Amino acid sequence: MILNPSWENIQRAAKTLREGRLVAFPTETVYGLGADATNEAAVRQIYQAKKRPSSDPLIVHLSDMSQIGNFAEIYSQARLADTVEKLSQLWPGPLTVILPLKGELAPSVTAGKQTVGIRIPSHPVALKLIAETGKPIAAPSANQFSYVSPTCAEHVEKSLGDEIDMILDGGKCKVGIESTILSLVEEKPVLLRPGIITRADIEKYIGPIDVKQSFLSEEQIEECLAPGMLKKHYSPNTKLVIRGQLPTEYYAENVGLIRFSPETETSDFNYRAVSTLSHTKDLNAVASNLYDAIREFDNLNLDLIVVDSCTEQGAGAAIMDRVKRAAH
């Protein structure tokens, strides 16, 4: 059931979470599928609903910076506390940090690991819901495992409507792709998932960081730092390719083009559908509209979806990361 985010409905959703049930809610990045992160049975329902492997840990969502120390061990190492303090200037916002685990989270949240992913989202509905629940909220993106993340309430209803009682509608997600993930558990910080908060944005606050090559095979997943970093992820059912990467003799009848701006030519195919994500090639708009366009085209019974590309700089790095995963 999709509900508007009135104060009454937020209170209802908070009660549902406290009772150990699932609520889908909006964040600025994508919609999350939330459960009380201290309730093991509730957290297990997330994995079940999404058909997600239990080895893939969840991000814990908090409403306030001051709660981090309850769930992550940051104050015993001065350098770590200092790094978190510096990064807090980016919160609330689309940056998740991986920290040493502390305290009373349900074991399934971290998939048994001794580290935890923490995020303080900036969407007002998410913040109100978390605060009103009074609990840390474990939430992955609210889609079936390995499908495209949802950027509006209707996407959630379509993928998981039968599995969950409540979807809070906060409109279309502004950012449109998942949060940046930065691990702080190694000697030097490591960027595990690029996002709209870029490497340069982070380095401005904490100096040089490493970037982990995140395209891993299924065999490598066990040792992988962020187990969700599978090559095939965020992918539609329709075959998807990056523009310019098709063999020249390739022929298909029913092809759709998702382009980043009107400058991209449409003469290479007899396209049946064309979606233009931005009128000015503004990468924030491209990110914001990308998943919605992929989902829409996935419903058109096309033989092929062709997606534009851009330089892997700044937000372009995050966009091309998602496009490559969708294309795999």
Give CA torsion, residues 247, 234, 107, 96, to 10 deg: 110
Residue 34 binds which entry of ligand TXA, Mg ion, none, CB below 5-8 Å type-dependent = none
Among residues 141 and 179, whose Cβ is nearest to Mg ion?
141
Please choose which of ligand TXA, Mg ion, none residue 93 contacts, taking the beta carbon within 5 to 8 angstroms, the exact cut-off set by kind: none
Tell the smallest beta-carbon distance from residue 47 to Mg ion (Å): 12
Does residue number 58 form part of the binding site for ligand TXA (CB under 6 A)? yes
Q: Which is nearer to ligand TXA, 92 or 256 (CB)?
A: 92
Task: Specify the residue, 225 or 242, whose C-beta has the smaller distance to ligand TXA.
Answer: 225
| Nearer Cβ to ligand TXA (254/284) | 284
Among 29, 38, 39, 151, binds ligand TXA (CB under 6 A): 29
For ligand TXA (CB under 6 A), the number of binding residues is 29
Residue 302 within binding range of ligand TXA, rule CB under 6 A: no
DSSP E strand stretches across the chain? 2-3, 23-25, 32-36, 59-61, 95-100, 115-119, 137-138, 166-168, 180-183, 190-193, 210-211, 240-242, 255-259, 273-276, 304-307
For residue 176, state whether it binds ligand TXA (rule: CB under 6 A).
no
Whether 308 and 260 have beta carbons less than 8 Å apart is answered as yes
Rounded to whole angstroms, the Cα distance separating 31 from 214 reads 23
Which residue in the set 22, 80, 84, 181 belongs to the binding site for ligand TXA (CB under 6 A)? 181
Structure tokens at 277: 């994500």
Taking the complex as a whole, the smallest distance from the CB of residue 109 to ligand TXA amounts, in Å, to 8
Q: How far is CA 185 from CA 9, 48, 79, 139, in A?
A: 38, 29, 11, 21
Count other C-beta atoms under 10 Å from residue 82's C-beta: 12
Nearest approach in angstroms of CB 192 to ligand TXA is 6
Among 16, 21, 35, 56, interactor with ligand TXA by CB under 6 A: 56
| Stretch of 16-24, 50-58, 202-210, 281-289 lying at the interface with ligand TXA (CB under 6 A) | 50-58
The answer to the question of residue 96 lying near ligand TXA (CB under 6 A) is: yes
- When the beta carbons of 57 and 256 are compared against ligand TXA, the nearer one is 57
User: Is residue 141 near Mg ion by the rule CB under 5 A?
Assistant: yes
At residue 50, φ and ψ (nearest 5 deg) are: -85, -10
Does 276 engage in binding with ligand TXA (CB under 6 A)? no
Nearest CA among 318, 304, 292 for reference residue 241: 304
Contacting residues for 291 by C-beta, under 8 A, at least 6 apart: 30, 148, 149, 150, 151, 155, 176, 177, 234, 322
Helices (H), 138-263: 153-160, 199-206
Q: Are the beta carbons of 153 and 292 closer than 8 angstroms? A: no
Min dist CB 140 to Mg ion, Å, is: 5
In DSSP terms, which residues pair with 175 in a beta bridge? none
Beta bridge partners of 256: 273, 305
Q: Which stretch binds Mg ion (CB under 5 A): 45-53, 119-127, 139-147, 206-214?
A: 139-147
Tracing tokens 């033989």 back to the chain, one arrives at 303
Q: Which is nearer to ligand TXA, 119 or 322 (CB)?
A: 119
What's the rounded Cα separation, in Å, for the pair 328 and 312? Answer: 17
Q: Residue from 10, 14, 30, 120 that binds ligand TXA (CB under 6 A)?
A: 30
Where would I find the H helices in the chain?
7-18, 40-50, 68-71, 78-87, 124-133, 153-160, 199-206, 283-298, 315-327
Residue, CB closest to ligand TXA: 228
Q: Any contact of residue 179 with Mg ion (CB under 5 A)? A: no
| Residues at the site binding Mg ion, with contacts judged by CB under 5 A | 141
| Residues at the site binding ligand TXA, with contacts judged by CB under 6 A | 27, 29-30, 32, 56-59, 94, 96, 98, 110, 113, 115-117, 119, 121, 139-141, 178-179, 181, 225-229
